[in-house]
Amino acid sequence: MKALLQRVQQASVSVADEVIGQIGGGLLVFVCAEHNDTEATAQRLVDKVVKLRVFPDEHGKMNRSALDVRGDLLIVSQFTLAADTSKGNRPSYTGAAHPELARQLYERLIDQAHATGLSVATGRFAADMKVSLVNDGPVTIPISMSS
C-alpha cells in the first residue's frame, strides 16, 4: 500500500458539495492499495501512520506521533498514488489494486484506524471528492508498505 500523509490544522472532504468527513488537527492520509496488498499490509500501514513522529514536542522538534497528541485522522482513497510516470506523458495506474480488493482493504484500514482510539473521518471510495486542507508545517510524507 502507498500513503501520502499531510499534517494538517484542519481538513475536510466533500462529495457533490456535501462535507462527508472533516477533522481538526491531525493527519490527512491519502491511501492506495496495490495488487499484492493484504489486510496485514493495511495493519502495518495504520501502525506506521499513527506512530510516525511528525508532531512537534515542547522544543519544536518533530518527536510526537498522532497517538501521542491524540490527532485526528482523515483517510481518503486515492488510486492515483499508484501512478507510473516513467513512460510517456500519460500516467499508468496498472499498479493499483483491482477496485474490489482496493475497497476491501480501504474499509479494513478504516476499521483498524478506528481501533487505535483516534477520531477517524473518511472520504467515499471511488467517488469524485473535493479535499480541503490547511497543511501544518508544511509536513507531507510519502509512505510505501510492501505486502
Q: Which of 80, 94, 104, 125 is catalytic?
A: 80
- 125 catalytic? Reply is no
- Exactly one of 78, 112, 116, 140 is catalytic; which is it? 78
Which entry of 30, 79, 112, 122 is annotated as an active-site residue?
Answer: 79
* DSSP character string of the chain: -EEEEEEEEEEEEEETTEEEEEESSEEEEEEE-BTT--HHHHHHHHHHHHH---EE-TTS-EEE-HHHHT-EEEEEE-GGGG-B-SSSSS-B-TTBPPHHHHHHHHHHHHHHHHTTTS-EEE--TTS-EEEEEEEEEEEEEEEE---
Residue 78 annotated among the catalytic residues of the structure: yes
Catalytic residue numbers read: 78-80
